[in-house]
Structure 1
Amino acid sequence: MVEVTALEEIIYDWFEYFHSHPEVSWKEFNTTKKIASILDDMQVQYKTFDDVTGLVAEIGQGEEIIAVRADIDALWQEVDGVMQANHSCGHDANISMVLGALYTLKNMKLGKRIRFIFQPAEELGGGALAMIKHNVIKDVSYLFGIHLRPIEELPLGKIAPAIHHGAAVFLNGVISGEDAHGARPHQGRNAIDIIVAVQQMVKNIYIDPFEVYSVKLTKIVADGGSVNIIPGNATFSLDVRAQKNEILNIIQERIEQGLKQIEAMFGTSIGWDWIDKTPGAEVSEEAARIAELSIIESMGMEYLAPPVETPGSDDFHFYTIKSPDLKAVMIGVGANLTPGLHHPNMVFNRQALIDGTKVLTTTLKNAAKG
């Protein structure tokens, strides 16, 4: 009991540090150093990179490799009137739970190697791709992830063996029209009229109603500099989501067709770029089964929840898109998390850190059996 209590205190201390020292994507320099320092104290070997933040550690022995990913970056957002880095997505918790599993497993006899991937820049969607370029999943057979879930998905005391994230992509658009005097609108091309047409177009995209998807304008900037000037130029952004990767692709095609038609209708140039595309989950049933049995083994049947379906996205799924044979799953941990992920004042019950650590430790141990 004393040893367990000591580990809990260590996990809470790690969490307090990471929570108090958030760093945004690609700038997780001190976070990387702190993780390296913890690994040094554990006497666990690791590898850092010259061109990106993050690091990779490995324990165990054998030819086959099991891996787990922890994302380490924070968001940049306004908190109580101040713009700052903020761990409102729970990556501070993910780091702590993965380190807790590493701490517990490092002296166990394992039939396989376990690789611990501390990945930067999940929030910008490029961190997984950067790690893939550094061959972090080379020769990996199973990949696990873990993430706290908002209370509407899972309460404290419930853990899901899989998270079925949706796919997401964003569009930045530029309208290049012509300003006009408010008294002579016929002399210009009103960018606001075009924005209204874009809004109507996205609202008229219809897919099979049994599919989960959404398309919405999330940013509009159109300013002629004065209230009596009709703006000809504007910028806008779209947030596009779908539960399945193939549905997201269909919606992108529909949007591009619609924008071309609006261009022709108004005789005005519209340029656009797709950015930060994040694939939906490709969940391995075999990996999810290992996680399910591990939840029951470590916490009891009463903790087991069904897989979570969520419209949120995560760049974790780039690993399976780039390596289709990889058996991957992300475990969802109930934490009574409110008001929600990415809310600047997000809070959760920290008992979830201990629950998640126990489940992840058991999952990795079972996956790494010889």
Structure 2
Amino acid sequence: MSFIERRVLETFDYLHENAEISWEETETTKYIASILQASNCEVETFDDCTGVIGKFGSFNKGLPVVAVRADIDALWQEVNGVFQANHSCGHDAHMSMVLGLLWKLQQNPALQEKVAIKFIFQPAEEDGTGALKMIEKQAIADVDYLFGIHLRPFQETKMGRATPVIVHGATRSIEAEIIGEDAHGARPHLNQNAVEIGAQIVTMLGKIHLDPRIPYSIKMTNFHAGGKSTNIIPGNGSFALDLRAQNNELMETLEKKVNFIFEAVRNLYDVEIKVTNSTGVAAAKIDEEAINIMQNAIKKVLGDENVDPALVTPGGDDFHFYTIKKPSLKATMVGLGCDLEPGLHHPHMSFNRDALMNGVAILYEAVLQPYNV
């Protein structure tokens, strides 16, 4: 086992065991910042948010700036009966691979004068707001190329293979409250049952029919109403919806349909439905130059026969806000085969850790191409 591989695996183990959820990645930020500083990178952290940026190379010679982004937050989910922060989306692996890229670059001291590479360790990907905060912090103001990496389930990309682009769809999470009054179980005519209103919304969501040629979905992902007393009809409730569409235009239509449903239910039940939070991420914007760079990198590392076609997925990632906010940015995200099962966001997600060094090598080949070194 090489020195870098051992460090990558040790880093992964630490990050996996010390997961932190969106906007609470304080110790993760400190840990990564300390590694960047020890690696002689110029390091930037922030007073008002988590996340850290490192710079390697020469940024005052007019060189193109290549950035690599790693998401650093974990999910909050139930694992073996206990709710906890859990890296079931692979962000621990993403951070480890990007740090492995830094260590691999350091093995060639001559690169220090020939490249300008920025490492963006971004918070809060899981709630779709971290990329926008990094953009606000000018993380990509000087960036010409941006690369990301994401573990893929075995159904999408096999171990030893990779795709040069993940074509994510648009996603939106809507949280809302039903505001009413409770009533006695014997007097259902005195209020509107929040549980029945929730069921009505679910039924109406199922009646949304859009262009079947474009993947989309909408579902209720949580609902809360009532308390310990079973003889009270709850008038108040809260719920959340998950919306997905393969392109931004269809997502706009889907959101309009949801708002129509809310208005119809308000009128039908004479009850207030208040949207308390609405967040989402945009669908991917494709850049052929960045895809070609990543395709060449995969070919060099894994072989031409192990380059998969573009991966189209209804999953979302706020990575694509970078290209929307800076259209000139040449960006793509590689999808890495790693025998991941049973699936992303499963509390017991696992993958073949041998794939980590594949990711390091692919990123290394990709970031050097714009410099012709």
Place the TM-score, normalised by the shorter chain, in its bin.
over 0.9
Counterpart in 1 of 2:292?
289
CA distance in 1, matches of 2:268, 2:85: 43
Confirm or deny that 1:44 pairs with 2:41.
Answer: yes
The aligned amino acid for 1:47 is E
Moved more, 329-338 or 8-17: 8-17
Q: Hey, what does 2:105 align to over in structure 1?
A: 105
How far residue 108 of structure 1 moved from its aligned partner, in angstroms, is 4.2
Q: TM-score, normalised by structure 1?
A: 0.94
- Residue among 229, 250, 253 paired with 1:226: 229
Which amino acid counterpart does residue 8 of structure 2 have in structure 1?
I
Tell me if the contact between 2:161 and 2:302 (Cα under 8 Å) persists in the aligned partners.
no
* Other-structure match for 1:71: 71
Contact kept, 8 Å, 1:180 with 1:231, in 2: the verdict is yes
CA distance in 2 between partners of 1:184 and 1:96 (Å): 59
Deviations 1:149-192 (A, max 9, x none): 11111121111100111111111121123333333322222222
Equivalent residue number for residue 267 of structure 1: 270
Match of 1:54 in 2: 51
TM superposition score normalised by structure 2: 0.93
The one-letter code of the counterpart of 2:38 is D
Displacement of 1:225 in angstroms is 5.1
Distance 1:99 1:346, change over 3 A: same
2:52 is matched by which residue type in structure 1?
L
Find the aligned partners of 2:38 and 2:7 in 1 and give their Cα distance. 12
Counterpart contact for 2:177–2:276, Cα < 8 Å: no
Taking only the aligned residue pairs, the percentage that are identical comes to 47
3-state SS of 2:254 partner: helix
Q: Distance in 2 between matches of 1:87 and 1:128?
A: 19
Is the aligned partner of 1:32 residue 2:29?
yes
The aligned counterpart of 1:6 is 3
8 Å CA contact 1:114, 1:368 repeated in 2: no
Q: C-alpha separation between the residues in 2 aligned to 1:16 and 1:175?
A: 43
Q: Deviations over 1:84-129 (max 9, x none)?
A: 2221111111111111111122334364411111111212222111
Aligned pair count reads 367
The 10-residue stretch of structure 1 (274-283 or 123-132) with the greater mean CA deviation from structure 2 = 274-283
Matched with 1:91 is 91
Post-superposition Cα deviations, 1:297-331, rounded to whole Å, max 9, x if no partner, equal: 22211221112111111111111121122111101
The one-letter amino acid paired with 1:46 is V
How far the C-alpha of 1:146 sits from its partner, in A, is 0.5
Partners of 1:178 and 1:37 in 2: how far apart? 53
Residue aligning to 1:325? 328
Quote the residue 2:315 is aligned against: 312
Q: Which residue identity does 1:66 align to in structure 2? A: V
Partners of 1:118 and 1:108 lie apart in 2 by: 25
1:274-311 deviations in Å (ceiling 9; x for gaps):
42211121121210111001110222112211121111
SS of aligned partner of 2:205 = helix
Matched to 1:79, the amino acid is V
CA deviation after TM superposition for structure 1 residue 224, in Å: 6.3
One-letter amino acid of the structure 2 residue matched with residue 310 of structure 1: T
The yes-or-no answer on 1:184 pairing with 2:187 is yes
2:196 to 193, 204, 211: 193
The answer as to whether partners of 1:224 and 1:232 remain within 8 angstroms in 2 is: no
Counterpart residue identity of residue 344, structure 1: P
Alpha-carbon distance, 1:27 to partner: 2.1
* 1:23 corresponds to 2:4: no
| Map of 1:214 onto structure 2 | 217
For 1:13, give the aligned amino acid: E
Instruction: Identify the residue that residue 163 of structure 2 maps to in structure 1.
Output: 160
Q: Which amino acid aligns with 1:145?
A: G
Q: What 5-or-longer segments of structure 2 have no aligned partner? A: none
Q: Which runs of 5+ in 1 are unaligned?
A: none
